[in-house]
Amino acid sequence: MESLARGGTRWKRFAVVMVPSVAATAAIGVAIAQGALAASFSVSGQQFKVTAKELDGTGFVQYGALDKGNDGQRPVAVVGLNSAKITALCQSVVVPVPVFGDVTMRLEAGAGKDPVLAKKLYIDADDLRTNATFTNVDIGVSVDNTTKGPGPAKPGEGGRGTYLPGSFAQQAEHVLFKDVEQRAWATTAGTFQLSGLNMSVKRGKNECY
């Protein structure tokens, strides 16, 4: 998936993030284009990549939002989960250092018998590739009437701005993502338990995928 162009948005590319309904993304895209969704969640200038062998989550909700970056607004699909078990998690970010060159910070956890555990997890992503299974899914529910997940982050919660009342969302009682590849701008969680944590910093690009 292409990166967002400076000063503009590749809406067709952004649409793929909203799984599993393509029609849903159109409603979110229109709301963002009209400036209806708030953009007060300020993020850094670097995206990060995440992979996981499996993410097993309960209480799923997904809706559109804007994150505010140094060079403009970034449309994202926010995924919220009441709880999640993540197997073989890898997270990497490449930081350009003047003169020295690129430096990759990479974090790995949950590769052993104990998975990564998270509660009230929110992920702001603009690209997601996975094999997904949804249980008791509702597509097209109003964002402020979701009941199966943690609900949209409230203004000021985790730095996020407000959402458009009555806008499109989807929810499910349970989700199972396998072979996850994701590009994100931010992740927040009430608790994040990293079993077998290993962090490395290396020169050059050493991303998760």
- Sketch the domain layout of the chain as residue ranges: 11-203
Q: Has residue 185 got a pLDDT over 70?
A: yes
* Alpha-carbon distance values, 59 to 73, 91, 93, 115, 122 (Å): 28, 23, 28, 18, 12
pLDDT of residue 42: 57
Q: Has residue 54 got a pLDDT over 90?
A: yes
Q: What's the pLDDT tens digit per position in 108-145?
A: 999 999 999 999 998 888 899 999 999 999 999 888 88
User: What DSSP letter does each residue of 145-178 carry, written as one string?
Assistant: G--SSS-SPPTTGGG-----TT-EEEEEEEEEEE
Top-confidence residue, 142 or 23: 142
Identify the weakest region by mean pLDDT among 35-39, 80-84, 115-119: 35-39
Residue 65: band (very low, low, confident or very high) from pLDDT cuts 50, 70, 90: confident
Read off the amino acid at residue 30: V
pTM beyond 0.85, yes or no: no
